[in-house]
Chain A
Amino acid sequence: MSSAKARPLFDLPIVKRAIVDSFTKLNPRHQLRNPVMFVVFLGSILTTGLYVHALTGQGEAKPSFILGVTLWLWFTVLFANFAEAMAEGRGKAQADTLRKARRDTPAKKLSAPSRDAQQSSVSAATLRKGDLVLCEPGDYIPADGEVADGVASVDESAITGESAPVIRESGGDRSSVTGGTRVLSDWLVIRIGVNPGEAFLDRMISMVEGAKRQKTPNEIALNILLAGFTIVCLLAVVTLMPYSIYAANSVNVALIAASQPATAAPVTTTILVALLVCLIPTTIGGLLSAIGIAGMDRMIQKNVIAMSGRAVEAAGDVDVLLLDKTGTITLGNRQAVAFHPSNGTHERDVADAAQLSSLADETPEGRSVVVLAKEKYGIRDRQIHEMGAHFVPFTAQTRMSGVNFDHRMIRKGAAAAIEAHVQSLGGEFPAEVQATVEAISRQGGTPLVVADGPKVLGTIELKDIVKGGIKERFAELRAMGIKTVMITGDNPLTAAAIAAEAGVDDFLAQATPEAKLKLIRDYQAGGRLVAMTGDGTYDAPALAQADVAVAMNTGTQAAKEAGNMVDLDSNPTKLIEVVETGKQLLMTRGSLTTFSIANDVSKYFAIIPVMFASTYPVLGKLNIMHLSPGTAVLSALIFNALIIIALIPIALRGVKYRPKPASVLLWNNILVYGIGGLIIPFIGIKAIDLLVNLV
């Protein structure tokens, strides 16, 4: 990911390929796709003809002048082609890197549906439907499938938002497993149910290569506006011919009446073509497709594959972000934050027992208990094997873990499991512990009860830890006008506590797939655009319903099919960057359109004074840039062509985006691209004119 970001703007091999492509893109059928550049293309052909005609000695102007105009017209076309080719080249290069760098989960492929069958380690991506794999504690399930053998507890928090593990076993309702979930205890033999192809990559590659790239709705709308503007310019320029014929005639009539030679001549077609090309929005027209391709390319640099440009564009419009609590807002796992003793037990004893029971527990929760015991009571790490202790791992059947030594039997687990455990040993579950358990739940925590034999010692309080910096991120989103909604399987009280801590605007507690889907529909009915991330099969309906749906690469095939983007890093926080990229894409288009149109003012001042020089020399007073009359038209044309090249970096990188309210963004962009667009060409054209006259 980081290597992709470091790609230089003008990578030599890409530039070389783009230069060649600039010429192959001269194919009229390709040019026709872009109405603005097609006009330039036709203009170039027309002046080429005029040049050939001028060579015969009967041209409307000096051949050298027509040649100069013709060459720069062709350059304008080629520069626009080059911009597009550059964007495509970068996209292709990006795709190549991606293919190699794609994150891969190893899978233990089995030759037969038995745990003891012969194993081979393969890439998850190569698994086909019907293949058998073994998943042991800590393994990610490589793809959706059915449990063929075994029973295990599986962490499906990534999909459901529910931190508590679920049981999966062969046969019955609980036999289906989802790719991207993780086996916590025991083992499973899974029969893969889907063919994970390279479909996304394939689609993306064909898209960046331009073959299948469809114009996005917004791009179409902008194209219409630009085409309309081009027609206005075309009319303004074409009608100048009859106007100037009228003017020249009337001036000549007056000259002849005064017995002077009739010197007034109508404007030449070459100058009209040059004026037209200067006026029509070639800057944005030439860069429009490059901006679109580069937008997707920037998504790819963030390791997000967009299924369509439409999705990237929609990302900019998102009003509501649905974020899964686990992994996005909070760290993936809960951490111990306090020990609550039962009556008659010292807090330190609870800590001690809890630490003992967790020493061999490699789950993050277990480790956090050890850390807390050390921080709070200085209880050092102990080697349970040296103590002759025997670790009892968590199993789906007991739903407890613990340690046996010195006739002690320390267990920790969910309140219900411990209650059953102590009662079976003749103990009882104290009422105050029950109260603590409920209090912790209410405040958004998870209680784990610790028991020594039949005696309940107390409770460990586990809490979700909100990611650092996430609150500030949400505040930025709020400033951009985006509402954040936390989705969690927790009860409403827990959810409210975490939502307040993380600073989200709203939350959906005890989220079921149906509730999630309904929430999205409600927001959409209110006219809002909803973005979400998801990775489980259960998420598929919600993903399909959401306007921008980012599926995690570790997620199930169904989720990936339902979403319109895939995050290769499987990082749910990425949604925020996706939104920013979408906004940046639209902003780049808007800013360059403004720039392009603002540029026109200066070009009138460059060309009008000289185009009617023989009819109305007095118009020379409008030549406020003091351009040399012989080169003014050419200077404006050269500026017009070079500005395309100069703006390629902005088109490829996008204009700078800062999370600010719309009014501030607008003001900044108008200042830079509107006012700047008005002034820069005056300076640029003057400078080019000075240079041209030096040469």
Chain B
Amino acid sequence: MTTTGLFQIALYLAVLLLLVKPLGSFMARVYRFQPLFGLDLALGPIEHLTYKLCGVRKDDEQNWKTYALSCLAFNLLGVLAVYVLQRVQTMLPLNPAAMSAVSPDSSFNTATSFATNTNWQGYVGESTMSYLTQMLGLTVQNFVSAATGMAVLAALIRGIARKTTDKLGSFWVDLTRSTLYILLPLSALLAIVLLWQGVPQTFSKYKTANVLQPSSYTTPHLDKDNTPVKDAKGNPVMDTVNVATQSIAVGPVASQIAIKQLGTNGGGFFNVNSAHPLENPTGLSNFLEVLAILLIPAALCYTFGLMVGDKRQGWTVLAAMVIIFLALVIPCVHFEQSGNPTLNALADQHETALQPGGNMEGKEARLGPINSAIWAVATTGASNGSVNSMHDSFTPLGGLCPLWMIQLSEVVFGGVGSGLYGMLIYVIVAVFIAGLMVGRTPEYLGKKIESYEMKMAAIIVLVPPALCLIGTAIACVSPAGLLGPSNPGIHGFSEMLYGMSSQGNNNGSAFAGLNANTPFYNLLGGILMLFSRYWIVVPTLAIAGSLARKKLIPASAGTLPTHTPLFVFLLVSTVILVGALTFLPALALGPIVEHLKLIGL
């Protein structure tokens, strides 16, 4: 790895960690109903109007079951709304490109995808969705699915911090406040900066531009069934296509990009996501966008520490996340910078003043391998799923890093809210084993971890790997599934594994190379996303409810300290070990064997 690589990683983490404390304490104020430096005065009327319109009483706290039901009902409504919007978008305004109605299976997949904060995109944004669908359906879900995750986290934290109560707060209030005071202001801020950097924000039609150098190419002539027509000799009939103009897709991009990054959504306005020059035009926009991916998840750790009354606990969890992040981003940058060994004889892949070097397939020349690799690991760690390069084209081990990052159940930063509550479940598992090793019934922050919590934690830890493994198993032996991968053999397996892992963990990034917009993959993926989100949300809230009811045990010298480097090590080991034990055989059949073959040549 070059010094540029190290410097980029260091700069990225330094800026990220600097922002943790200010944003984290601000968010804690949001969930503790403390003054928000004037923001509450400005937006307070909207907040109260929302409650009034929805018939919500601000101080009406819910127990875990009501909280979970509210959350599920709200999300179900979200799925339905996005589904219907896509199906009837032809009849609705703001459709200048005259997009037709989206197919039922794709609509289902996209609806679940955006409601579950996965933002897997089987469709091509600029040629499928009307502006209205993008804004009212997708962008709204970008906000509320993120806010849902934050609300569930707030409930879990309250469950840990409170004692002998069954009240966890109100889902509706947490949802509203997360959106209004955290996501909206931050997105507005980021959107404005992105606008300045050249990201469009418009309702106008797609632009047509003359290309600098008109060209032509030939393509097989297709008949009605999309099969190439052959002449009498059996050779394909070719058509010549002249290219003099191009259509440039635009739209209300900046607003969606801001929230897709901040809300760990990742669903791009354009198909190639942040590799598109209009989504991510400059080096600064790239830095800010990748920063936005991890910003809220990282800062929430500090919020957690504040809310449980022990900031060290938040730093501990954050430290574990940073360590795993480093453990994967460094090799990823390394392998991408090292380039493809088979090309060594043909080209110089070293970094020079004129070229970034490394493996440039599938990467933007503007961004290079380092920024692509950092983005890849951040976006998969954070359940964001936006991309600025094509992970499918990474070197086998370089691609293994983002793939495995997803398979670690999206707890390394993870989705906004969902990442931290997922990590806290791993904390509970780590505390359980470590607690036994010091000879006490395990306890975390004064709460005893008993069989009920273990039962729920086991479900939570079990669900994502189960979904990925079973999903991939179905895909790789069913005829419909085998049509998906665009590469044969090992890489095809990686493509399926990545696609199923991405949806089974609510990440949403695509390895690309998997043609997933088929009824088979749309349905399978939709089911994976639903299970992965809600089979974790409900047990998490159940744990929150159970912890809230417990007594608070004062800490003593016999209590396992959960703020030490040793505990960080334990937590990291737990996450890594579960991830490794679950996925090592599958990875061996994908990236690992691919790498061994590559270096064996």
* Residue numbers in A under 8 Å from B477 (CB-CB): 242, 245-246
B558→A666 contact, CB < 8 A: no
A586→B557 contact, CB < 8 A: no
A225→B458 contact, CB < 8 A: yes
A236→B462 contact, CB < 8 A: no
Give the Cβ gap from A545 to chain B, nearest Cβ, in Å: 15
Give residues 201-227 of A contacting B (CB, 8 Å).
Answer: 217-218, 220-222, 224-225, 227
Give the Cβ gap from A5 to chain B, nearest Cβ, in Å: 21
Q: In the complex, which of the residues B437, B489, B559, B580 contacts A670, with contact meaning CB atoms closer than 8 Å?
A: B437
The contact size tier of chain B is 35 or more
Whether, in the assembled complex, A228 has its beta carbon less than 8 Å from a beta carbon of chain B, the answer is yes
* Residue numbers in B under 8 Å from A388 (CB-CB): none
* Residue numbers in A under 8 Å from B597 (CB-CB): 616, 618
With most chain A CB atoms within 10 A of its CB, the pick from B163, B465, B557, B561 is: B557
B439→A584 contact, CB < 8 A: yes
Digitize A263-299: 1 where CB-to-B-CB distance is under 8 Å, 0 elsewhere. 0000000000001000100000000000000000000
* Residue numbers in A under 8 Å from B569 (CB-CB): 670
Known pairs A232-B578, A317-B440, A481-B558; A670 contacts B469 (CB<8 A): no
Whether, in the assembled complex, B211 has its beta carbon less than 8 Å from a beta carbon of chain A, the answer is no
Digitize A376-392: 1 where CB-to-B-CB distance is under 8 Å, 0 elsewhere. 00000000000000000
Closest to B461 in A: A228
Whether, in the assembled complex, A528 has its beta carbon less than 8 Å from a beta carbon of chain B, the answer is yes
Known pairs A232-B461, A247-B490; A594 contacts B437 (CB<8 A): yes
A225→B438 contact, CB < 8 A: no
Give the Cβ gap from A601 to chain B, nearest Cβ, in Å: 7
* Residue numbers in B under 8 Å from A222 (CB-CB): 432, 436, 454
B440→A232 contact, CB < 8 A: no
Report the bound CA distance from A317 to B556 in whole Å: 11
Report the bound CA distance from A341 to B472 in whole Å: 95
Q: In the complex, which of the residues A528, A587, A594, A667 contacts B554, with contact meaning CB atoms closer than 8 Å?
A: A528
A662→B557 contact, CB < 8 A: yes
Known pairs A225-B458, A319-B556; A236 contacts B432 (CB<8 A): no
Give residues 433-454 of B contacting A (CB, 8 Å).
Answer: 433-441, 446, 449-451, 453-454
Closest to B577 in A: A597
**Main secondary structure on B side of the interface with A:** helix
Known pairs A479-B557, A666-B437; A616 contacts B578 (CB<8 A): no
Q: In the complex, which of the residues A232, A481, A590 contacts B556, with contact meaning CB atoms closer than 8 Å?
A: A481
Whether, in the assembled complex, A167 has its beta carbon less than 8 Å from a beta carbon of chain B, the answer is no
Whether, in the assembled complex, B34 has its beta carbon less than 8 Å from a beta carbon of chain A, the answer is no
* Residue numbers in B under 8 Å from A600 (CB-CB): 577, 581
Give residues 580-596 of B contacting A (CB, 8 Å).
Answer: 580-586, 588-589, 592-593, 596
Closest to A251 in B: B489
B577→A253 contact, CB < 8 A: no
Q: In the complex, which of the residues B457, B465, B476, B560 contacts A662, with contact meaning CB atoms closer than 8 Å?
A: B560
Give the Cβ gap from B442 to chain A, nearest Cβ, in Å: 8
Whether, in the assembled complex, A582 has its beta carbon less than 8 Å from a beta carbon of chain B, the answer is yes
Digitize B559-577: 1 where CB-to-A-CB distance is under 8 Å, 0 elsewhere. 1110010100110010001
B589→A583 contact, CB < 8 A: no
Whether, in the assembled complex, B23 has its beta carbon less than 8 Å from a beta carbon of chain A, the answer is no
A-B contact count (CB 8 A): 228
With most chain A CB atoms within 10 A of its CB, the pick from B440, B566, B592 is: B440
B566→A663 contact, CB < 8 A: yes
B441→A478 contact, CB < 8 A: no
Closest to B596 in A: A618
With most chain A CB atoms within 10 A of its CB, the pick from B578, B585, B593 is: B585
Report the bound CA distance from A238 to B474 in whole Å: 12
Known pairs A319-B553, A483-B556, A619-B592; A242 contacts B440 (CB<8 A): no
Known pairs A224-B455, A225-B429, A250-B492; A590 contacts B462 (CB<8 A): no
Whether, in the assembled complex, B466 has its beta carbon less than 8 Å from a beta carbon of chain A, the answer is yes
* Residue numbers in B under 8 Å from A253 (CB-CB): 488
Report the bound CA distance from A29 to B465 in whole Å: 30
Report the bound CA distance from A525 to B554 in whole Å: 11
* Residue numbers in B under 8 Å from A241 (CB-CB): 473
Known pairs A224-B454, A662-B440; A235 contacts B593 (CB<8 A): no
Q: In the complex, which of the residues A591, A616, A657 contacts B593, with contact meaning CB atoms closer than 8 Å?
A: A616
* Residue numbers in B under 8 Å from A662 (CB-CB): 438, 440, 557-561
With most chain B CB atoms within 10 A of its CB, the pick from A319, A601, A622, A666 is: A666
Give the Cβ gap from A338 to chain B, nearest Cβ, in Å: 39
A228→B557 contact, CB < 8 A: no
A233→B581 contact, CB < 8 A: yes
B586→A243 contact, CB < 8 A: yes
Report the bound CA distance from A220 to B566 in whole Å: 27
B461→A480 contact, CB < 8 A: no
Closest to B586 in A: A243
* Residue numbers in A under 8 Å from B458 (CB-CB): 224-225, 227-229
With most chain A CB atoms within 10 A of its CB, the pick from B438, B457, B561 is: B438
Whether, in the assembled complex, B413 has its beta carbon less than 8 Å from a beta carbon of chain A, the answer is no
* Residue numbers in B under 8 Å from A481 (CB-CB): 556-559
Give residues 641-679 of A contacting B (CB, 8 Å).
Answer: 657, 661-663, 665-667, 669-670, 673-674
Closest to B465 in A: A232
Give residues 71-128 of A contacting B (CB, 8 Å).
Answer: none
Report the bound CA distance from A399 to B4 in whole Å: 94
* Residue numbers in A under 8 Å from B511 (CB-CB): none
B441→A218 contact, CB < 8 A: yes
Whether, in the assembled complex, A538 has its beta carbon less than 8 Å from a beta carbon of chain B, the answer is no
Whether, in the assembled complex, A604 has its beta carbon less than 8 Å from a beta carbon of chain B, the answer is yes
A618→B593 contact, CB < 8 A: yes
Closest to A583 in B: B439
* Residue numbers in A under 8 Å from B439 (CB-CB): 316, 582-587, 590, 657, 665
B553→A527 contact, CB < 8 A: yes
Whether, in the assembled complex, B552 has its beta carbon less than 8 Å from a beta carbon of chain A, the answer is yes
Closest to A218 in B: B441
* Residue numbers in B under 8 Å from A594 (CB-CB): 433, 437
* Residue numbers in A under 8 Å from B585 (CB-CB): 236-237, 240, 243, 275, 604, 608
* Residue numbers in A under 8 Å from B492 (CB-CB): 250
Please give 13 more A-B residue pairs, beta carbons under 8 A apart, in addition to A232-B462, A670-B437.
A228-B462, A232-B461, A236-B584, A239-B469, A245-B477, A313-B441, A482-B558, A590-B433, A590-B437, A591-B437, A616-B597, A657-B439, A669-B437
29 of the cross-chain contacts (CB-CB < 8 Å) are A221-B450, A222-B436, A232-B465, A232-B466, A235-B466, A235-B582, A237-B585, A242-B474, A242-B477, A243-B585, A245-B476, A246-B477, A250-B489, A251-B489, A254-B489, A316-B440, A583-B439, A587-B437, A590-B434, A594-B437, A598-B577, A600-B581, A608-B588, A616-B597, A618-B597, A662-B561, A665-B439, A669-B438, A674-B573
Q: What 8 A-B pairs have minimum CB-CB distances, sorted nearest first?
A: A590-B436, A481-B558, A583-B439, A228-B458, A481-B556, A481-B557, A590-B437, A221-B451
A interface residues, Cβ below 8 angstroms from B: 217-218, 220-222, 224-225, 227-229, 231-233, 235-247, 250-251, 253-254, 275, 279, 313-314, 316-317, 319, 478-483, 525-529, 582-587, 589-591, 593-594, 597-598, 600-601, 604, 608, 612, 616, 618-619, 621-622, 657, 661-663, 665-667, 669-670, 673-674
B interface residues, Cβ below 8 angstroms from A: 163, 429, 432-441, 446, 449-451, 453-455, 457-459, 461-462, 465-466, 469-470, 472-474, 476-477, 482, 488-490, 492-493, 551-554, 556-561, 564, 566, 569-570, 573, 577-578, 580-586, 588-589, 592-593, 596-597, 600
